[in-house]
Copies of this chain bind each other. A is one copy, B any other.
Amino acid sequence: MTTSAAASPANRASKYLQFIQTYGMLLILLLVVAIFSLLSSNFLTTGNLINILRQVSIVGIIAVGQTLVILTAGIDLSVGSIVGLSGAVSASVTLGTGNPLIGIAAGLLTGAVIGLFNGVMVSYFKLTPFIVTLATMTAVSGITLVYTNGNPIIVSDPVYKFIGQGYIGPIPFPVVLLVVVYVLFFFILRKTVHGHYIYSIGGNEKASVLAGIPVKKHKMIVYTVSGLLAGLAAVILSARLSAATPVAGTGYELDAIAAVILGGTSLFGGKGGVGGTLIGVLLLGVLTTGMNLINVSPFYQDVVKGAIVLVAVLLDRFINADTQ
């Protein structure tokens, strides 16, 4: 066969391009890290790196669910509001039952149920994801206010707090969770049938239906997972803070979406993955911490952040110029 002979180098080249494409942003991240390290001697320390990882764990986990949803060409605006409600539920159930595990389960379940609702609306009722999840976002924030009567809920249960404040060896527990979630979903996207279908649905939903794939079911699962992961983020957040506040999570959806797209996943579906998302999450986290460390005035922080993000995507574009 003529093809196999030609295949090897081409294959390698395309792998190389793909590497650059995904990891162009990684290079940029490293560049930003290098710059901050030069500007502040406190930046490149183990303590600070762990600090950054812990800080990004919450949005980082939400961004995994968001990646799945966006890969199917959908969007989930409700995740931020789920953080508010799930946190309140898990904190209050922990207080009520005295059992943190039941509390945590309740928080996760709350997230999953809201996600399932979104999924059903999007898949079975064929509603636009943007509007459905926007409506859910609005309604869920309202439900949180009603549920908490607008008041924060303090939790001091040590097991509960461990989720957010504990350590496994030198590694903060939220970071452990972050890593587990990324590894798990990296595997799911690459190695499972469900992951395969996520790409095919996002790449061409019609062709997927015609290939006999239960597209609705898989889309529904994706939204449910997104809700579930937002629930997990809620538990971590409330455990980190020893408290659930009703406004917690506001705006996290945008941070998560930004990280996903910075990481190279297309809003039109079918292209990308959680590896890129992690880089996007880290880039945003490093920016925030770095600017605090080198003491950029708060009024200028947004200017600098916006500018750096723009420069990052421009650089990325030039790195990838041929691959388009």
Which A residues fall within an 8 A CB radius of B?
121, 125-128, 130-132, 134-143, 145-146, 149-150, 254, 257-258, 261-262, 266-268, 298-307, 309-310, 313-314, 317, 324
Partner of A306, one of B135, B266, B305, B307: B135
Q: How far is the CA of A305 from the CA of B141 in the complex (A)?
A: 11
A137 surroundings in chain B (CB, below 8 A): 306
Would you call A300 and B132 a contact (CB within 8 A)? no
Report the nearest B residue to A141, measured CB to CB: B302
Q: How far is the CA of A121 from the CA of B309 in the complex (A)?
A: 13
Would you call A261 and B307 a contact (CB within 8 A)? no
Q: How far is the CA of A140 from the CA of B306 in the complex (A)?
A: 8
Closest 5 CB pairs of A and B: A139-B306, A142-B302, A142-B303, A138-B306, A135-B309
Would you call B262 and A131 a contact (CB within 8 A)? yes
Report the nearest B residue to A310, measured CB to CB: B135
A307 surroundings in chain B (CB, below 8 A): 135, 139
A135 surroundings in chain B (CB, below 8 A): 306-307, 309-310, 313
Copies in the complex: 2
Report the nearest B residue to A308, measured CB to CB: B135
A257 surroundings in chain B (CB, below 8 A): 130
Would you call B300 and A146 a contact (CB within 8 A)? yes
Would you call A145 and B299 a contact (CB within 8 A)? yes
A309 surroundings in chain B (CB, below 8 A): 131, 134-135, 138
Report the nearest B residue to A280, measured CB to CB: B131
Task: Answer whether A302 and B261 are a contact pair too, CB < 8 Å, given A314-B125, A317-B127.
Answer: no
Task: Answer whether A314 and B127 are a contact pair too, CB < 8 Å, given A145-B302, A150-B299, A254-B134.
Answer: yes
Task: Answer whether A302 and B138 are a contact pair too, CB < 8 Å, given A121-B310, A268-B268, A310-B121.
Answer: yes
Would you call B132 and A313 a contact (CB within 8 A)? yes
Would you call B261 and A139 a contact (CB within 8 A)? no
Q: How far is the CA of A306 from the CA of B82 in the complex (A)?
A: 14
A313 surroundings in chain B (CB, below 8 A): 127-128, 131-132, 135
Would you call A126 and B324 a contact (CB within 8 A)? yes
Q: How far is the CA of A299 from the CA of B266 in the complex (A)?
A: 36
Would you call B142 and A258 a contact (CB within 8 A)? no
Would you call B261 and A128 a contact (CB within 8 A)? yes
Q: How far is the CA of A132 from the CA of B261 in the complex (A)?
A: 11
Report the nearest B residue to A117, measured CB to CB: B310
Q: How far is the CA of A130 from the CA of B256 in the complex (A)?
A: 13
Q: What 13 additional pairs, Cβ within 8 angstroms, besides A125-B314, A139-B303? A: A121-B314, A126-B317, A127-B314, A130-B257, A132-B313, A134-B309, A139-B306, A139-B307, A139-B310, A145-B298, A145-B302, A146-B300, A268-B268
Q: Which has the most chain B C-beta neighbours within 10 Å: A258, A303, A324?
A: A303
Q: Could you write out 6 A-B pairs with CB less than 8 Å apart?
A: A128-B261, A130-B267, A131-B313, A136-B306, A143-B303, A146-B299
Report the nearest B residue to A267, measured CB to CB: B130
Q: How far is the CA of A305 from the CA of B257 in the complex (A)?
A: 24
Would you call A130 and B261 a contact (CB within 8 A)? yes
Q: How far is the CA of A258 from the CA of B137 in the complex (A)?
A: 12
